[in-house]
């Protein structure tokens, strides 16, 4: 791969927007790629992948070049050296010495927070919460995420979808642990495919696809998805209910529920109603109304850094503490929507016990035996996909 100046400038512009202006990486890349419709698929892929990779390795690249934190040209040059991309003879790269960078790389191998490129507070938190497991999980969180599709079984089967995608030269593999999942063999834009427009699949990580089946759903049930967002898991629930029964998708953000409605129409999921949570009354009115309740609560997102590497630079210990308090509030108040005998799943895309099993323990301790824990499961980033936690609880009275 040869680095061209307009491609390099696009990467630098994206990095400046992400770090300098605090914008989200996925939105920035979308915007930068839109600016030049003439770029071919290879150039687009290079810009997107290189930007993400520099975001992922930001601290390491900055340390290796020993330059200010906004010297994105030096980081790009260093990235080229480490990836054997020939360094163009440009003024911006003149000060970079490949041997010196390699020597510094060796030196920093011993310092995990630099070599694995995380802020100090996050490395300390990970070690405190996960002990020796943090090493392997942190390493896995620096890998590039797989692209995984979830078959919409309201309209097709995984087998039929796999064959259809192949006709469009999209090769996929099946997964034993997630029967509706298809993993892309090669990263590509799947949103332009006719199968997507026809609602035959959604993009959803394999670990995230474990949550809805964990709810022990049966067609005909009354289900509440209380933190539904744009409906990734709501749509999976609809697919498992086979459009029989009712789903109430709730969130505090109306725009997310609007997006959910669009996706539901595309998927032909006809049994989803949405409701914005405006105050505690919205929840109170639904007391004892659900056979199944999903609490896919707001979290730090520390299980999905493969997908959102910029989050590690934007998160703070204060944010994580606030989100833990919100989780405890949600589980304590929202559990009342469940009928006695009903089942509730508490889930996060975090790998930190303080957002997961410790929250469930705290909740159970306040309930005087009204709930019991039936099962817990973890999906770890080192397993190849995102990090998730799920707990299945039963309301006894």
Ligand X SMILES: C[S@@+](CC[C@H](N)C(=O)[O-])C[C@H]1O[C@@H](n2cnc3c(N)ncnc32)[C@H](O)[C@@H]1O
Judged by the rule CB under 6 A, the positions of this chain that interact with ligand X are 226-233, 251-253, 256, 277, 296, 298, 330
> How far apart (Å, rounded) are the C-alpha atoms in residues 389 and 355?
9
Annotated binding site for S-adenosyl-L-methionine: 251, 296
Nearest CB to ligand X, comparing residues 190 and 331: 331
Q: In 88-120, which positions are buried (b, 16+ CB within 10 angstroms) versus exposed (e)?
A: eeeebbeebeeeebeebbeebeeebbbbbbbbe
Nearest CB to ligand X, comparing residues 188 and 252: 252
Residue 176 contacts residue 384 (beta carbons within 8 Å): no
- Name the burial class of residue 288, with classes exposed (0-12), middle (13-18) and buried (19+) by CB atoms within 10 angstroms of its CB: exposed
Nearest CB to ligand X, comparing residues 126 and 232: 232
Least distance from ligand X to the Cβ atom of residue 103, Å: 43
At 278, is the secondary structure helix, strand, or coil? Answer: coil
- The CB density around residue 125, as the number of other CB atoms within 10 Å, is 20
> How far apart (Å, rounded) are the C-alpha atoms in residues 196 and 89?
43
Least distance from ligand X to the Cβ atom of residue 353, Å: 18
Q: In 3-23, which positions are buried (b, 16+ CB within 10 angstroms) versus exposed (e)?
A: beeebbebbbbbbebbbeeee
Nearest CB to ligand X, comparing residues 96 and 283: 283
Q: Please list the helix, strand and coil fractions of the chain in percent, rounded to the nearest 5, in that order.
A: 50, 15, 35
109-113 long-range CB contacts below 8 Å, 24 or more apart? Answer: 112/138, 113/59
- Name the burial class of residue 289, with classes exposed (0-12), middle (13-18) and buried (19+) by CB atoms within 10 angstroms of its CB: middle
Enclosing H/E stretch for 258: helix 254-267
Annotated binding site: 251, 296
Least distance from ligand X to the Cβ atom of residue 8, Å: 35
Indicate left, alpha or beta for 379 from its phi (over 0: left) and psi (-120 to 50: alpha).
Answer: beta
Least distance from ligand X to the Cβ atom of residue 257, Å: 9
Answer yes or no: 349 catalytic.
yes
The single residue of 78, 227, 299, 349 carrying the catalytic annotation is: 349
Least distance from ligand X to the Cβ atom of residue 251, Å: 5
Nearest CB to ligand X, comparing residues 81 and 249: 249
Which are the catalytic amino acids?
349
């Amino acid at each position: 791969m040869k680095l061209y100046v307009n491609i390099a400038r696009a990467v630098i512009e994206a990095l400046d927007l992400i770090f300098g202006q605090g914008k989200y990486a996925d939105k920035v890349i979308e915007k930068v790629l839109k600016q030049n419709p003439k770029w071919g698929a290879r150039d687009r892929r290079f810009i997107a992948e290189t930007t993400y990779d520099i975001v992922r390795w930001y601290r390491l690249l900055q340390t290796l070049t020993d330059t200010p934190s906004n010297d994105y040209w030096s980081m790009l040059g260093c990235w080229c050296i480490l990836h054997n991309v020939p360094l163009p003879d440009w003024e911006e790269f003149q000060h970079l010495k490949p041997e010196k960078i390699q020597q510094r790389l060796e030196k920093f191998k011993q310092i995990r927070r630099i070599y694995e490129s995380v802020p100090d507070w996050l490395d300390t938190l990970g070690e405190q919460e996960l002990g020796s497991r943090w090493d392997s999980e942190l390493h896995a969180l620096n890998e590039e995420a797989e692209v995984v599709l979830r078959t919409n079984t309201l309209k097709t089967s995984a087998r039929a979808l796999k064959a259809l995608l192949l006709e469009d030269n999209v090769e996929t593999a099946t997964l034993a642990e997630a029967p509706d999942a298809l993993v892309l063999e090669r990263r590509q834009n799947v949103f332009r495919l006719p199968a997507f427009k026809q609602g035959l699949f959604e993009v959803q990580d394999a670990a995230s696809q474990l949550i809805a089946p964990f709810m022990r759903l049966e067609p005909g049930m009354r289900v509440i998805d209380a933190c539904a967002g744009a409906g990734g898991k709501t749509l999976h629930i609809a697919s498992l209910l086979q459009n029989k029964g009712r789903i109430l998708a709730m969130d505090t953000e109306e725009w997310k529920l609007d997006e959910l409605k669009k996706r539901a129409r595309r998927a032909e999921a006809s049994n989803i109603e949405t409701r914005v949570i405006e105050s505690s009354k919205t929840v109170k009115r639904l007391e004892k109304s659900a056979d199944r309740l999903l609490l896919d609560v707001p979290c730090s997102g520390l299980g999905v850094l493969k997908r959102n590497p910029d989050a590690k630079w934007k998160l703070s210990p204060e944010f994580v503490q606030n989100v833990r308090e919100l989780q405890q509030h949600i589980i304590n108040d929202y559990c009342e929507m469940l009928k006695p005998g009903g089942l509730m799943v508490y889930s996060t895309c975090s790998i930190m016990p303080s957002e997961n099993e410790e929250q469930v323990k705290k909740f159970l301790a306040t309930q005087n035996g009204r709930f019991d824990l039936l099962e817990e499961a973890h999906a770890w980033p080192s397993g190849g996909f995102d990090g998730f936690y799920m707990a299945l609880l039963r309301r006894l009275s």
